[in-house]
Amino acid sequence: MNNKIFLRSLLAAGVLGMSGLVLAHGDVTPQAVNTKGLPQLGEEWLDENPYRAPNEHHDLAVEIGSSAYNQNCARCHGLEAISGGIAPDLRELEASYDGDEWYKERVINGAVRDGAVYMPRMADTLSQEALWAIRTYIESEAAKQ
């Protein structure tokens, strides 16, 4: 009898612990990003990352992108851009037109499968400057591998 109570208690603790992980996922509403110091890129989306090295604004873009990534992306894509398996590891994207094309598609359109939103349309809330700064930060993290 005591074993049944213990097992039920253990199961209940496990369920409560897992629910904490789900709640820890947090609010996925994109948070504002201050892009002061980066040149304005306009409304029309560029095809390639404008802040990729050796751009003079590269270091500032990495700094802004780091903060923006942690506020908006890390909860799904992992701290320091190291995926924990919930979402794709963005460090695997090529630092080229092809990687930029995939990135741009996702941040503009989000990711929806069978009506479930896996990633919100980040470009609805964040500026092109902020999103390319995030891409620049991700590329800087990939270079550390």
Nearest 5°: phi and psi at 110? 70, -165
Tell me if residue 53 falls in helix, strand or coil: coil
Query: What is the DSSP code (8-state) at residue 94?
Result: -
Residues 6+ apart with CB under 8 A from 51: 38, 57, 58, 61, 132, 133, 135, 136
Q: How confident is the model at residue 86 (pLDDT cuts 50, 70, 90)?
A: confident
Output the average pLDDT for the chain: 87
CA distance 143 to 83: 15
Both structure tokens of 4: 């049944």
pLDDT of residue 29: 73
Q: Which domains does the chain have, with CATH numbers?
A: 21-141 (1.10.760.10)
Model pLDDT, residue 8: 67
- CA dist., res. 31 & res. 25, Å (int): 15
The candidate with the shortest Cα–Cα distance to 61, out of 43, 71, 49, 72, is: 49
Residue 84 pLDDT: 87
Digit-coded pLDDT (tens) for 17-65: 544 444 344 456 778 899 999 999 999 999 999 999 999 999 999 999 9
Q: pTM of the full predicted structure? A: 0.79
